[in-house]
Structure formats: C-alpha cells, structure tokens
Amino acid sequence: MQNRKKIIAAIVLGIILAGVIAGCVFSIRYQKRGQQGSVDISTETKSETISQRESSYTMADFTLGKMEERESIQGEPSTSPAREGVLTDPDGYILPSSAKVAITDADLSKLSGQEVVYAKNEIYARHGYIFDSDELNRYFRGKNWYVPNENFHKEDIAGIEKNNVDFIADYEVRNSIHYTVQ
C-alpha cells in the first residue's frame, strides 16, 4: 500500500514536471517567435498599433499550426488579377466605403500586406493627411482625389473611420502583417 502511494505520487509529480517543462519550452518558443514577428510594422499608425500589439494576443495565437500557416501566407502577395489595378488606378480606393461602413476581416483578407497598410492610411489620406513616408506620399499624391491638408492631424479622425483604423491596426497584428513602408 505504501509502495503504491509512492508510485502514484511519482506519477503525479512527473506529470506536473512535464507540464512545467512544456510550458517553459512553449514560452521560450513564443518569445522568440514574438521577437521575430515584431520586426517593425512601420506604418503611419505605428504608435497606435504598439499598445494594441502588446494587448491583443489571444489563445488563438497560440495555435502553432495556424501561426506557421499565417507566416507562410504573409510572404506571398495575395493580389488577385481583379484587384491588380487598385493600387495604380488614380481614381481608385482600396476600400471605397471605409468612411461609411465598418470594415470586416473578409474585406481585408483578400488584400496583400501592402494593400492592408495602404487601406489604413487611405482613411487619413481622404482628409488630406500629409505623410512622413516618401512611399505613402508618392502613392497618395498619385490619386486624383487626394488633396493635401496641412491642418488635418491623425487625432482629428473620429467615428466609423477611427473604428476602421483601429480595426485594421488590430488585423495587422492578428495576422502578422509586417509590410514596411519606406
């Protein structure tokens, strides 16, 4: 009887020890992945996304298979032939209704990383925001609808547009989008 209790105690201790070791290994792997994954979002709303990046991880992010799948998808542009002209059309918008309608994952899932970053900044550009990035300045100055406005500041955005900017920033984090604007 005494021997049986020792065996049960050893098994329980072994299970607990295995759990602790697995937790440590997972934590180390996740930290390394997080350091690799937080390369630099470098969008015009970088300061807005940093705090969201730190607070928006959920249990879904710990599913290793999905995380690896997301990383492999992000490396490939997802621009379909039907969407190819959206970045080059001087009259076009990436998300034409983002000033009036809430954006969903479905709206963003068909976009490349570059298009997602541009779509977020398109909301500011509609109001004439002048970007610090040469790449974004070139892109939006190529749009017929863009009229630079020195008096507009990002903080002036409100309502559905503010919600959409926040949603896109969160989407970038959740989907490991790391497009760096030049």
What CA–CA distance (Å, rounded) separates 111 from 123? 16
Domain ranges for the chain, please list them: 1-37, 43-174
CA nearest neighbour of 34 among 72, 67, 8, 2: 67
Q: Which CATH number fits domain 43-174: 1.10.8.60, 3.90.45.10, 1.20.58.1690, 3.40.50.2300?
A: 1.20.58.1690
Is the pLDDT higher at 76 or at 101? 101
Percentage of the residues of the chain whose pLDDT score is greater than 90: 44
Q: How confident is the model at residue 18 (pLDDT cuts 50, 70, 90)?
A: confident
pLDDT at 129 over 80: yes
Q: How many CB atoms lie within 10 A of CB 98?
A: 23
For residue 153, give every residue at least 6 positions away whose Cβ sits within 8 Å of its Cβ, in sequence order, or none. Answer: 129
Mean of per-residue pLDDT scores for the chain: 74
pTM summary value: 0.55
pLDDT at 76 over 60: no
- Asked if 76 and 179 count as a contact pair (C-beta separation under 8 A), the reply is no
pLDDT at 92 over 80: yes
